[in-house]
Amino acid sequence: MRVLPLLKLVRLSALPSALADVFGGMALAAALGPVFGVDHIGLDRLPWLLLATTGIYLGGMASNDVLHARKDGLLGKKRPIITGELTHKAANATMASLYLIGLVAAILAGCAVPAALLIALTLLYNWLARGRIVGVRVTQPLGLSVAAVAVIALCRALHVLLPLFAYLPAQFPPMRLLDTIAPLFAASVFVYFALVTTVSLFEDTGGGRKALHAVQILLMPVPLALPIVVLMRPGASPSFLLGVIAPLLIAAALLLGLWKALDVARESPTPPNLGKAVGTGIRGECLLMAAFALVLVPHQPWWGLCALAMYPLGRFLTRWISPT
């Protein structure tokens, strides 16, 4: 079995954005450590969290091709299953193996329950996103589309919280997290990916100028909400460069890149342009996590810098493997 078809199956170029989620989640755990009585967030669980993310995320990408094989064939997509580079059986085995690796790693990291829920949600999303096939025509009913957007956004919001769950003491009531910055952190990711996924719904067929313009407008406050709330908290005295200037510049760069990509897609809403906009949004998660990590723990800048480093890695891998 050749390696490149497997890498295409799992959309390897999108993985850096998922790894950035881990670094952002680690920054959130470090910021909230004093709240749940942990003075120092060690690195002992980080390798398992990275492996859990790799398995679950790539498994989810593989399940997309497995569940969408008939749809992709009708749309003429050059997926490995459709081109014959991979058999359906090999793709199924790859998907199951990756999910198993991710779940075992999550057990070792201490976040088995949310990880298992995440796997179930990725499967649900891919089932919803396959739409309906009538004869040789693929349709995407509005109800299924809305449900799919909500589920994938929930997947990503849950995903960024895995490190927090991994380090949360067993005796700490999870409901107390509602009084912290964690809900805004997760909600920002939820809204961000809901909007990016909305763009992806037009990727197969083109169109959606009005929706794309709405996405552009609605995206504007998303990367800025959490930094502004954190910086306005009583007693906040972050490092001016790392805790204020750097995250705001990164958030601005994210918005500028997305605006340009969506402008091109809106001017010419063809599947390739829409796909590029979605790819920009996926890679933009690295910038979102970098900005959030730096504003949350500017005294531990490595989390933000690690998330930021995932951005060029994602762009590099995109040269050979599409993230969508």
Structure tokens at 224: 């800025």
Residue 235: predicted pLDDT: 64
Angle at 248 between CA 245 and CA 252, to 5 degrees: 135
d(CA 79, CA 85): 8
Considering only CA atoms, which of 297, 316, 312 is closest in space to residue 23? 297
Instruction: Work out the average pLDDT over 273-293.
Output: 94
Considering only CA atoms, which of 32, 21, 54 is closest in space to residue 160? 21
d(CA 314, CA 144): 30
Look up residue 251 and give its amino acid.
A
Most confident of the following: 61-75, 150-164, 261-275: 150-164
Structure tokens at 169: 């003491």
Sign of the CA dihedral running 116, 117, 120, 121: negative
Residue 204: predicted pLDDT: 63
Residue 321: predicted pLDDT: 86
Q: Evaluate if residue 254 carries a pLDDT over 60.
A: yes
Sequence-ordered list of residues with C-beta below 8 angstroms from that of 95, at least 6 positions apart, any chain: 59, 62, 63, 66
Instruction: Work out the average pLDDT over 113-119.
Output: 97
Query: pLDDT tens digits for 197-238?
Result: 888 877 766 667 888 889 999 999 999 999 999 888 876 656
Distances (CA, A) of 216 to 51, 117, 141, 259: 34, 31, 23, 6
Sign of the CA dihedral running 260, 261, 263, 267: positive
The helix/strand/coil state of 138 is strand
Range 4-8 contact pairs with CB under 8 angstroms and sequence separation of 24 or more: 4/85, 4/320, 5/80, 5/85, 5/86, 6/80, 6/86, 6/94, 7/320, 7/321, 8/79, 8/80, 8/85, 8/321, 8/322
Given a contact cutoff of 8 angstroms between Cβ atoms, the answer to whether 323 and 314 are in contact is yes
Q: Evaluate if residue 246 carries a pLDDT over 60.
A: yes
Answering whether pTM is above 0.85, one says yes
Considering only CA atoms, which of 163, 212, 215, 218 is closest in space to residue 185? 163
Residue 88: predicted pLDDT: 87
Instruction: Work out the average pLDDT over 125-134.
Output: 82
Sequence-ordered list of residues with C-beta below 8 angstroms from that of 217, at least 6 positions apart, any chain: none
Computed over every residue of the chain, the mean pLDDT equals 90
Residue 311: predicted pLDDT: 97
d(CA 79, CA 73): 8
Instruction: Work out the average pLDDT over 140-168.
Output: 91
Residue 262: predicted pLDDT: 93
Of 20 and 241, the structure prediction assigns the larger pLDDT to 20
DSSP characters over 3-21: HHHHHHHTTGGGHHHHHHH
What is the share, in percent, of the chain residues with pLDDT greater than 70? 96
d(CA 273, CA 276): 5
Q: Evaluate if residue 18 carries a pLDDT over 90.
A: yes
Residue 58: predicted pLDDT: 96
Structure tokens at 104: 């075992």
Instruction: Work out the average pLDDT over 148-158.
Output: 95
Given a contact cutoff of 8 angstroms between Cβ atoms, the answer to whether 314 and 16 are in contact is yes
Instruction: Work out the average pLDDT over 258-262.
Output: 94
Residue 63: predicted pLDDT: 94
Least confident of 117-121, 200-204, 245-249: 200-204
